[in-house]
Amino acid sequence: MNNSEYLYYFSKQRTDGNVSQKNILGGKGANLAEMTSLGLPVPPGFTLSSEVCHAFEANDFKLPDDVTRQIREAVGQVGQWLGKEFGDSKNPLLVSVRSGARVSMPGMMDTILNLGLNESSIQGLIAQSDNPRFAWDSYRRFVQMYSNVVMGMNHSMLDVAMEDYKADHNFKSDADLGADHLIEITHVFKNQIKEFTGQSFPEDPWEQLWGAVSAVFRSWHNPRAMTYRELSGIPTSWGTAVNIQSMVFGNMGEDSATGVAFTRNPSTGEKTFFGEYLINAQGEDVVAGIRTPKNLCRAEGGDESLEALMPVAYQELFEIQKKLETHYKDMQDIEFTIEKGSLWMLQTRTGKRTAKAALKIALDMNEEGLISETESLKRIDPNSLDQLLHPSLDPSFKKTILAKALPASPGGASGQVVFSSQKAVELKAQGVKTILVRTETSPEDIEGMIASEAILTSRGGMTSHAAVVARGMGKCCVVGCDEAEVSYSKLKVQIGERTICEGDEITLDGGSGEVILGSVPTIAPELGGDFKKVMLLADKIRRLGVRTNADNPEEARQAREFGAEGIGLCRTEHMFFGPNRIDAIREMILAQSSAERKQALQKLHGFQSEDFYQIFKAMDGFSVTIRLLDPPLHEFVPHTEIETEALSERIGMPLGRLKSRLDQLKEFNPMLGHRGCRLAISYPEIYEMQSKAIAEASIRAIKEGIHVLPEIMIPLINSAEELKILKTLVVTSVTSVQQEMESQFEYKVGTMIELPRAALLSHEIAPHADFFSFGTNDLTQTTLGLSRDDSAQFLKTYVSDGIFSSDPFVSIDQKAVGELVKTSVKAARNFDPEFKLGICGEHGGDPESVNFFHGIGLDYVSCSPYRVPIARLAAAQAVLKEQDL
């Protein structure tokens, strides 16, 4: 270990780091150290820790003097071990400079190779390799790469220059270029760089090194890197490490090669060594796809395989990969280079894999005795399960991407663009598949969302109405597509340069957020045996119950297939939007007296009772939590002139009076308005009808032998007083039905805790409730004073700037919102240690949040049907994490 936290060697002679230090050495650096310690052949070098990144930022984005001093020392040391010297004209030390963050990050500066070459040291490389063409080609590549990444040189200018040169000399491919040509090209490059950037290409290898290292640290703040971090929830404060490593060359001739490999198949999970390589090439050639790489193993690559052509090196590599997988106990993604027959390991890391492969590998490794059963469970990213549950777009299809927005609900779907629910319903009836495109959806669009294949909105975030409802339906949805300008009047949407009209076909990819022109074929989901095995294992371990948010029998049935143990949130308002129902609810809203209101509600009564009965049937034996009416009434009224006029005629209310009443309903901040239990305080008739409908449905179901466990939930409670009044109302209504129908049943009456005041006053509220369910969506909105419908745009900056560590609507803000939940849990359990507690916000399907809810002792989480498997696995992982502590 160095005397500072800055610099960590990896070499036969001295290795400071190990794999446990990824947080400061980055994944690449930590693994280089680990491989060196395992005695594998790794070119020596050292890692600049993420502390250097912080020092660099703190020093106004310049390398501090003590850092450059230590790097000079270390480069000297590595040279000494290899008997080389940096910039030497006889035996020059050449290095690669690579970024290496804690997790791999696209968008950052990746690699600069061959650093240390200049007009003098090139002579040494020629002497060493006895291959002037190789040496000048290396220099040419270095100049091209360095000038682009560090000096901001336009990449294509140099490409054009090279093409011009080849054309002038009638050369067809790079292979036709000899050493002399490459010398000329390198100098042409240097001149153009000078001209374009105003700076000479650096001759001093130290200057080259400072430039490259600084560029890596700066690239941490690239827009692309920031976007990636934001999408992946990686804090900016982590910073990146940099690896400086002595070069080895896969392009020193036909006895040299370079390649990448996986210890198992990353796509299927099969236990087969799998990889590709190129003879006489540098690593970038494999990645860049200029030459087509060959398969490593004879089984697939035949005579062109590494196994066939370099059997000794192959055998060594095969043993190393086995050793690595056994050591790391996970599938590895490795990079290697063979320099004049000698194998060098350049990287190992845990390999990315499809969800399908993840399941298979985890289960296989357990069976092989490599990892324990619980370890295999820990290996699977709960979020990845989503991939398995939805149809996905055929990845081999060539797509025209129109825009990329927020991937709100996974899956892939194609269809004709429609701009209204009505049109979607109309076309559905004709068997036409549609994509519903809106600026934003509202409960009025539910019918259209059901009828369409997928939903695209130009506004809203990951927890907007469209996103939440679509996830609930398991329907593909892309939201917040800024580039899309929707015009309802002209029935078209402008996306960038393209105009898409009603009837045009588009495709949405809910996994990537891509909006694609035309139709793309899809692949159906396959819930194989591995999925089931993992789920059963998770169920064995988890303590937390997993329920679902479901508003109708179809969703309820779907959720049970995915393993939901009851409904944690059944939103009754979605039931009001049916064509026979919406006018009845509107009449109720427009009623002038309690009697008129009751009359209108009477029309809905039968529908509600039937809805509840169907849901009870689908959830036979499980609890069903029904939330009484929650949204403000204006969500149900018409919003356009035409609809208003039509309504006026249908219900026979003069247009003037209707409009004036609709005006009265408008609210500046509906989220904080006349909704939830406040409606029932004003109009008790609504909850009375709903309670009676629940009671009737329960008794009807019981008579058919169905086991019903209704939990009636009152939303937006702020005080014990509200709950007292409304609980009495509910109990009185249910009792009256029980007496009338001469039948009893057990039920609970509880409340949502979704306002800071309710959380703070839970000690007063708990004695009047049979259960609490935390509505963490609204609790997040109020605690943070942040509208989820309006914040999508600026929240991005908040996450990318590190003000929030992640989107608080996706993963619960543990510091404040979580603290309020804890306060409430404590109060409730203080009142009754067995007090029933659940959560039904969107956070119920987020693994981080599930872990938090497990930790604070909730009884269950409830999430949309398609997130039920995720929550089950996350709940099991929470138990395992707890055991690890």
Q: Which residues form the catalytic set?
A: 465, 840
At its nearest, how many Å lie between a second copy and the CB of residue 769?
16
Q: Which helix (H) or strand (E) holds 648?
A: helix 641-651
Whole-number minimum distance, CB 682 to a second copy, in Å?
A: 5
Of 18 and 719, nearer to a second copy (C-beta) is 719
Cα 682 versus chain centre, distance = 42
In whole angstroms, the minimum distance from the beta carbon of 727 to a second copy comes to: 13
CA angle 149, 150, 156 (to 5 degrees): 40
Backbone angle region of 563, left / alpha / beta, with phi > 0 → left and psi within -120 to 50 → alpha: left
Q: Cβ neighbours of residue 855 under 8 Å, at least 6 residues apart?
A: 878, 882
Q: Which is nearer to a second copy, 634 or 854 (CB)?
A: 634
Contact 434, 451 (CB under 8 A): yes
Residue closer to a second copy (CB basis): 267 or 793: 793
Q: Which two tokens stand for residue 659?
A: 């409009």
Question: How would you label 615-649 residue by residue, b for 16+ Cβ within 10 Å and e otherwise?
Answer: bbbbbeebbbbbbbbbbbbbbbbbeeeeebeebbe
**Residue 395 to residues 38, 47, 231, 441: CA-CA distances in angstroms?**
38, 37, 21, 29
Q: Which is nearer to a second copy, 333 or 813 (CB)?
A: 813
Considering the complex, state which of residue 123 and residue 805 has its C-beta at the smaller distance from a second copy: 805
| Gap between the Cα atoms of 318 and 314, Å rounded | 6
Report H helices in 220-292: 223-232, 283-288
Closest CA to 143 of 198, 91, 200: 200
Asked whether 441 and 551 are in contact (CB, 8 A), the reply is no
- Contacts of residues 132-135 at CB distance under 8 Å and 24 or more positions apart, as own/partner, are 132/179, 133/177, 133/178, 133/179, 133/182, 134/249, 134/251, 134/252, 134/253, 135/179
Using the minimum distance from each CB to a second copy, give the nearer residue, 653 or 672: 672
Query: For a second copy, which is the closer residue by CB, 339 or 630?
Result: 630
Question: To the nearest whole angstrom, how small is the minimum distance from the Cβ of residue 670 to a second copy?
Answer: 7
CB of 684 to a second copy, least distance (A): 11
Distances (CA, A) of 588 to 472, 581, 592, 635, 839: 28, 11, 9, 13, 31
DSSP per-residue letters across 459-494: S--TTSHHHHHHHHHT-EEEE--TTEEEETTTTEEE
Beta-strand pair 748-753/709-714: parallel
CB of 775 to a second copy, least distance (A): 10
- Between the alpha carbon of residue 394 and those of residues 413, 525, 788, the distances in Å are 11, 12, 33
Residue 28 Rama label (left phi>0; alpha psi -120 to 50; beta)? alpha
3-class secondary-structure state, position 641: helix
Q: Is the distance from CB of 878 to CB of 542 less than 8 angstroms?
A: yes
The CB-of-419 to a second copy minimum distance in angstroms stands at 16
Nearer to a second copy, 338 or 827 (CB): 827
Q: Which residues bind a second copy (CB under 8 A)?
A: 485, 660, 667-674, 678, 681-682, 716, 718-719, 721-722, 725, 754-757, 760-761, 778, 781-787, 789-791, 793-794, 797-798, 801-804, 813, 815-817, 819-820
Report the alpha-carbon distance of residue 662 to residue 647 in Å, rounded.
12
Q: Find the shortest distance in angstroms from Cβ 585 to a second copy.
A: 19
Task: State the nearest-atom distance from the C-beta of 440 to a second copy, in Å.
Answer: 8
Taking alpha carbons only, the member of 665, 752, 768 closest to residue 713 is 752
**How many other CB atoms are found less than 10 A from the CB of residue 840?**
28
Residue 848 beta carbon to a second copy: minimum distance, rounded to whole angstroms: 18
State which residue, 82 or 784, has the beta carbon closest to a second copy. 784
CA distances from 153 to 138, 144, 200, 207 (A): 18, 9, 12, 17
Per DSSP, helices labelled H in 107-200 are 121-129, 132-149, 155-168, 179-197
* Residue 664 beta carbon to a second copy: minimum distance, rounded to whole angstroms: 8
Judged by beta carbon, residue 72 or residue 657, the one nearer a second copy is 657
Smaller CB separation from a second copy, 94 or 713: 713
How many whole angstroms separate alpha carbon 232 and alpha carbon 509?
Answer: 18
